[in-house]
Structures are given as structure tokens and as C-alpha cells.
Structure 1
């Protein structure tokens, strides 16, 4: 500083500056448009790598950094850039994640606040249940139906092993929900099921031993080979919790196998969502007093009178209350 000059007379022109000081370069907020990105669908996910069907080519993709922490799941529609070819070393980047039409979620349990997206853009949820060996798990079926309706996805029951037990009790139980049911037996025709799956993205869920894998192998004869390709992107590791989308022969839709999804936590589902799954109780609930919790020990819940009047059944009311309490 020059002597004899009042410090208050200095201005910014007297301060030496570097022509391009490091770290002061303005950053552009404009992201690449990626106008040449190829549309694709995610058909498998394994440890940060994604198997994407881009056109008629399956490619292994990584998520671009610009997408940040956005999760990408099976069923997502995406845009990819890079070498979109069937070359063994081809690697592309996912640079765009399209809006989802539907999102099927679950939580680890009913007290877990963290939702997990299972599949995106599904049209229907096929709940596969055996009629015997093992017995139908009504708790799982109820939860799957609720999860589907809360997500705007159509539920469908596929009842297997009809040669061992009658399907009538299960069909009657879900008749008030207008949930369609398809009855099959081992080695029997699957024409009716194929009609429901045609042109749809269908998620199949079910307990171990109900015949879900048998159905998938019958619907998609190349399923084992396709699963082998999916495992290859994870060096042979195919986790039991990952979903895999398999194309139905003839280009008539997709089935999504979810081998690890054996239960649905419903922490993300509200009481109103539950009532959507029980339309036979919905009108009765509107006649309850404000603040009614609809539980068994709540005084003067109108749902008891509603059932007594024949609008629903004690079984349906008990199922609704069980789900409500378990949230």
C-alpha cells in the first residue's frame, strides 16, 4: 500500500487480481440435452449395473453422474448413450430417466419408514398362490392386493395346484374386491393366463413352493437362458431380492419375476389406501364418527353395524382390521 494515501480512497481497481483465478470459473447449470439418446427399458439390475433393452439390443449400462442419486429399477424407461450394440465389451450410460406411470413399493416391515421401489411402470400384479401344499397365505394375498391398488396397478390372482384342492373358497373371499382369478394345475393349459398377460407388464409374486417358477418357465421357455445372461453382468451372482423382466414370446408383453419379494410391508399405505382394497367396507367407513380408527377396540365403529346389515362379511372386516393394526 502506498504511503500517504488514505486507505478509504482505495477502490477495487487498486486490488491486484489474477486473470483467471483457480476455482472462480462460473459453472453452467445447463445439462447436456442428449438429443441422440436411445430409448430403452431396464430389464435387470445388479450391483450398480443395469441391463437395458435398447431397441432390439441388450446392453450393459452405468448410470450417468448427472442423474445424481435417482434410483433406477426394473421397468424404468430410460435414455442411453454410447455404443448401443451387442458387442461383448459395449458399455453405455443411462442419461435420462423418464417419468413413471406406476410405482410398486414395499417396506421391509410395517414399522419401516423407508420405502423400496420394486418395479416401475407395471400394469398388473399377479399374486401366485397354491391352493394346497402350501396352503393359501391370505395375509400375503391381502397385502399384495392393497399394495397393487395403492399403486394404481391391477391385481390378478393365479391359483395353482387346483388338482389338490378347490379354488372356490379363495375366489369367494376376493369376489367383493372384483379381483379376477385364474385357476391352473401342473401341466395344464395356460391360455387364459396368457390372455391376461398379453400386452401388459406383469409382476409375479408368491411364496416359495407355489409354482411361480414353473409358470414362468412355461410362459417363457428361454427364462433360464435369460436369467443366465442377467447373472453374467454380476459375474454369476443373481441375488434373491432382484427383479428380472422377461419378454413373453411374440413380443406380447413382459413378466417380471420377483424371487425375493415374499412379503409386503405397508408402512407407506394410508387407511384410505386400505379402504380402496376393501370397497365392500368403504361406504360403511364414511358413516363412522370423525376420527374413528376402525379398529376392533375403537368404540362405536360403524363398520360392525355395516357388516351386520349384510353389506360385507366378518372375514373381510377382520382382514381389513388386521392390516390396519399392522401398519
Structure 2
């Protein structure tokens, strides 16, 4: 005999306890006080190569290379070459060991670029560098001043010291090219290879010593050759320039940090680039690197791009307040501003 709904009372109902919400989820996260500090030297498909060399409390420990993954609590926080991180888990290294990165130390500097000048999404290339080494060949392939200008803008935006390295001086005289950048006071090193070896390597090594330097340049300029000369164990692949297109072949597929032998300095080799988007760069941060011109912007109209008829910098330079090199410096500033906006390409 079936029962009607009215025949049931509350004692007849069985409530199955729900597992979800049976125990409140804690918002507390582990402090990871035993985490070890490390330095990210390479990134490959979600796996991070980290150099661990210091323990908790500054206690010196034998250096070792650890493979790590990003801990879930970091969410979408990106980790790039040059980051200083904290690790837990299997931090002893070894073939099958896998540690976890649980913290990323605040970055002192960030080198960024966008896909193009209209792309609002910026990409972090390297963290914690203090010098941007812009590598350009004087010939084979021909130098690309506009790309160099863009790299200079990126250096100024990231507060990195720029260093211009010109390769293949055995094929072309660097004098005319360097004259183009003289008003910017950019330090430079000229290198060449020949029967006598690698000329200019000692001067370059001197400027890299004790610093974290990131090398950028388009394919075929000899960037990997320089890295192999500086760090003989690097074994970075080198390529040749296509005789038809004048372009080099990409040989570096990802950024990697390499320590200079016997030094505290690091060089970070990056893949060859063919464009350097600057959509993220604020014009004001470029002008900050022209202290002889910046005071003259006080008389500019609101929203001035500093490359228009109403700009007060022309009067400032004409008055002599920018010094004897004022006109050349203003021309260089506007060249960089046009490079940033894409008008010079």
C-alpha cells in the first residue's frame, strides 16, 4: 500500500551530509619559513631552472641547480628569467627532483615589450637586470637604427643603462654609425673577429663584470657568438645570414642567464628579435633621461608630444639653456619619441 505525501513527517526524511562546506576552508596560507632563495636562470614550458646557493638566514650552502614548478597559490603571477624566488620541496637537486616556487621577490627592474605599438598587453622579458646590451652588426646584416632606437627607449623606460655593442667591425667602419648616437652619450664597444681572435672582448667583459646584463638584437648580428666567447661553456647555437633576405636565422629559442666565469656578473641571452613594441611606454619616462632638456618642457602646452610646433623645447634649445649640443640632443630625443610611436618605422 503506497503512502501519501501527507503521511510523511520530518523524522522520515534522511539528510545526506554534504562534503562541500562541511569544514570551512581556511584563508591562511603556509608561511614557508624554511623556503630557500634561488635565482631563475631559464624557463621552459612551465618548468623553471633555478640556481640555489643560499640557505635561510644567509648561511652559505653549496650551489646547485634545481628544477621547479610554480606553486598553485601564486595563481597567474608570471615568473621570468632573472627573478629571485623562494622554493620548498625537493630543493636538493637531482635528475627527477621537482621543487615548488612559493614566492617571487619584488623586482628591482623589469624589461618589457609588446607585440606591436597597438597591443595593450605587455610581456615581461627579463627581471632584475641593470644593463641592456644592444647588439648590432655593422654589416651582414645591415644595421637597423630604428630597432636600436626602440631598444634604447625600452632601456630608458626600465631604468637600465644602455650599452651599444657593434659587431663585425672587420667588414665596415663604425665611425659614421657611432656619430648617429653621439648626442645620446650611449656607451659602446666595437668588436670584430679575424685571424687574431675576438677583438674587443676584453673591453666588453670589463663593462659586463659585476652586473646583470641582458643582450638583445635581431638575428644574425653575432649575439650568440659573443655569449660563447664570454662564457665558453655556454655552447649557444650560432647561425648564418641568408644571402637573399639579409636576415639571420633564429638560433636562441628562449632566454637564459649565464654567469661570467669567475665573476659575480651575469649575461642573459635572449632570442633574436625583429620588432620591439613600445605601447606600454610613457613619454615622460623617456624625457627623464634627457636632464638637459627636461626643464624646457615646463613651458609646453598640456598634452604636448614634444614633437609639434607648439613645443617649448625649440625655444629652450635656441636660448642656449640646453648647452652647445642642445640641437643634436633634441633631434635625438624626437627620434626616440617617433620610434616609440611607430612613426619612424
TM-score range, shorter chain: 0.7 to 0.9
Distance (Å, rounded) in 2 between the aligned partners of 1:226 and 1:164: 22
Give the structure 1 partner of residue 20 of structure 2: 23
When structure 1 is superposed on structure 2, of 116-125 and 130-139 the one drifting more is 130-139
Give the structure 2 partner of residue 214 of structure 1: 225
Alpha-carbon contact 1:281-1:312 (below 8 Å) kept: no
| 1:302 equivalenced with 2:328 (yes/no) | no
Distance (Å, rounded) in 2 between the aligned partners of 1:175 and 1:213: 26
Distance (Å, rounded) in 1 between the aligned partners of 2:98 and 2:237: 19
Output the TM-score relative to the length of structure 2: 0.79
Deviations 1:74-104 (A, max 9, x none): 0000111122234211111111111111111
1:18 and 1:27, CA in 2 relative to 1: closer, same or farther beyond 3 A?
Answer: farther
| 1:181 equivalenced with 2:193 (yes/no) | no
Give the structure 2 partner of residue 319 of structure 1: 335
Q: Secondary structure at the match of 2:235?
A: helix
Alpha-carbon contact 1:205-1:262 (below 8 Å) kept: no
| 1:118 equivalenced with 2:125 (yes/no) | yes
Alpha-carbon contact 1:103-1:119 (below 8 Å) kept: yes
Structure 2, gaps ≥5 residues long: 1-12, 54-62, 239-249
Alpha-carbon contact 1:40-1:77 (below 8 Å) kept: yes
Within-5 A mapping of 1:1-327? 22-24=19-21, 25-55=23-53, 56-186=63-193, 187-224=198-235, 241-279=253-291, 281-295=293-307, 298-306=308-316, 311-313=326-328, 315-326=331-342
Output the TM-score relative to the length of structure 1: 0.83
When structure 1 is superposed on structure 2, of 164-173 and 199-208 the one drifting more is 164-173
Alpha-carbon contact 2:217-2:272 (below 8 Å) kept: no
Alpha-carbon contact 1:83-1:91 (below 8 Å) kept: yes
Distance (Å, rounded) in 2 between the aligned partners of 1:208 and 1:23: 55
Deviation at 1:41, TM superposition (A): 0.7
Deviations 1:214-250 (A, max 9, x none): 10010011112899xxxxxxxxxx9955211111111
Alpha-carbon contact 1:145-1:277 (below 8 Å) kept: no
Deviations 1:132-178 (A, max 9, x none): 22232111111111111111211111111222223233333333333
Distance (Å, rounded) in 1 between the aligned partners of 2:233 and 2:65: 15
Distance (Å, rounded) in 1 between the aligned partners of 2:191 and 2:302: 45
Structure 1, gaps ≥5 residues long: 1-15, 228-237
Deviation at 1:307, TM superposition (A): 5.3
Alpha-carbon contact 2:184-2:332 (below 8 Å) kept: no
Deviations 1:40-86 (A, max 9, x none): 11111111111111121112111110111100000000111122234
1:291 and 1:18, CA in 2 relative to 1: closer, same or farther beyond 3 A?
Answer: same
Distance (Å, rounded) in 1 between the aligned partners of 2:276 and 2:29: 38
Alpha-carbon contact 1:306-1:312 (below 8 Å) kept: no
Q: Secondary structure at the match of 2:165?
A: strand
Residue-pair matches, total = 302
Q: Secondary structure at the match of 1:312?
A: helix
